[in-house]
Amino acid sequence: MGMIDFQQDVLTRSFEIPVVVDFWAPWCGPCRVLGPTIEQLAQEQEGQWALVKVNTEEAEDLARQYQIRSIPNVKMFYQGKVIAEFAGALPRKAILDWLDEHLPNDAKQAWSAIQDAVANGDPEGVAQLQAYVADNPANKEACLLLAQQLIWQEPAKALALVEDFHQDDLSLWESAEELRVINTFLAGEFDDSPAGKALTQAQGALAQGDHEQFVLRIIQATMADKNYADELPRRLAIAVFHTWGVQHPLTRQYRRRFDMALY
């Protein structure tokens, strides 16, 4: 294309369709390799995204504004912002993978909205999440998020959602292990030792919906005996804080107190 109007052709247009900008220069050898490949993909995927090529020799201000330090440099604009980028002459398959990962679509936006609803405690969030998992059973992040919501009331259903998680995806597997720790606590019968009594009291607080007392009793059990029942109080507290998330008010209030109880 000839001279471009960056505001119109990229920023404004990106509110209608993602715009991929290829920053290049005539003297750049890798640019001559990348250019035809990305142009071909733009033709093949016409309607999904638009391609704009910016010659950095002719648009030095833009190159400075977008901190182009090496070329080729490719940035994806969506709703006026850069949402993804890569540098260098990637092969066709790698560019396809990049596009697949970063192009916004309805499914990704729906999943993002559900995550926000659940995180914000929207009463509709869990129902939306259950419907999403039913339609997208291969989305392990969604299965885990639903399991984290269900573990307290329907532990068997929660554990079924994560039973095929493997250690090759370590973060997902560790999160699933934490749900198993919570289940061990929920189903546990504890002795009359100080740690055992505190865990029994934690079960009672949870049954009454008193989450603050629930956390305090777990911390009490940790202080009484870190090694009780294969370190259950310590592992339980970590599992609860991770499952609730860092923004949960009780995580923010008591995580530090728990950490101090370990020492």
Q: Which residues are catalytic?
A: 28, 31
The 10s digit of each residue's pLDDT in 154-178 is: 999 999 999 988 887 888 999 999 9
Residues 242 and 226 in one domain: yes
Amino acid at 249: P
Question: What is the pLDDT, as a whole number, of residue 1?
Answer: 45
Which of 120, 148, 183 delimits the end of a domain?
183
**Considering the domain boundaries, does residue 166 fall inside one?**
yes
**Considering the domain boundaries, does residue 1 fall inside one?**
no
**Considering the domain boundaries, does residue 93 fall inside one?**
yes
Q: Beta-carbon neighbour count of residue 121 at 10 Å?
A: 9
The 10s digit of each residue's pLDDT in 211-257 is: 999 999 999 999 999 899 999 999 999 999 999 988 899 999 999 99
Residues 202 and 170 in one domain: no
Which of 183, 210, 242 delimits the end of a domain?
183
Query: Which domain, by its residues, includes 158?
Result: 107-183
Residues 10 and 98 in one domain: yes
Residues 13 and 96 in one domain: yes
Task: Give how many domains the chain has, as a whole number.
Answer: 3
Mean pLDDT of 198-213: 98
Cα angle 173-149-126, degrees, rounded to a multiple of 5: 125
Question: What is the pLDDT, as a whole number, of residue 208?
Answer: 97
Structure-token match 């005539």, residue found? 26
Percent pLDDT > 90 in the chain is: 67
The CATH number covering residue 57 comes to 3.40.30.10
Largest Cα–Cα separation, the chain: 81
The 10s digit of each residue's pLDDT in 116-155 is: 899 888 889 999 999 989 987 878 888 999 999 999 999 9
Mean pLDDT of 194-214: 98
Residues 67 and 135 in one domain: no
Question: What is the pLDDT, as a whole number, of residue 250?
Answer: 96
